Homo-oligomer: A and B are copies of this chain.
Amino acid sequence: DYDPSFKIGKEKAKVCMTCHGEDGISTIDPYPNLRGQKVGYLISALKDYQSRQRTSGLAILMQQQADTLSEQDMKDISYYYSVLGTKQEEE
């Protein structure tokens, strides 16, 4: 089944891939894998960075990223990663 949300999310997620990997497996150990992660968790994590409820040294990078995202962007990107690598995925 064609899933336009997946395509939209993938396009918006390009900026994430340098650190979190093209396949959602992150490129370095301090950064989390996002592949197949729960969509609700990903959305709330992004919101927490944007609202400065995550504040450690590494969080500053993600605060800056989250500042550029609308609520719809967060949903689309989170949906993309939640589906990536699961049964629902399609290319």
Give A residues with C-beta under 8 Å from B.
26, 28-33, 36-41, 44-45, 47-48, 51, 53-56, 58-59
Q: How many copies of the shown chain assemble into the complex?
A: 2
- Contact across chains for B38 and A30 when beta carbons are under 8 A apart: yes
Write 25 A-B pairs (CB below 8 A) sorted by A numbering.
A26-B38, A28-B40, A29-B38, A30-B40, A30-B44, A31-B38, A31-B41, A32-B38, A32-B41, A32-B45, A33-B36, A33-B38, A44-B56, A44-B58, A47-B56, A48-B54, A48-B56, A48-B59, A51-B56, A53-B54, A53-B55, A53-B59, A54-B54, A54-B55, A55-B55
Residue of B nearest to A51 (CB): B56
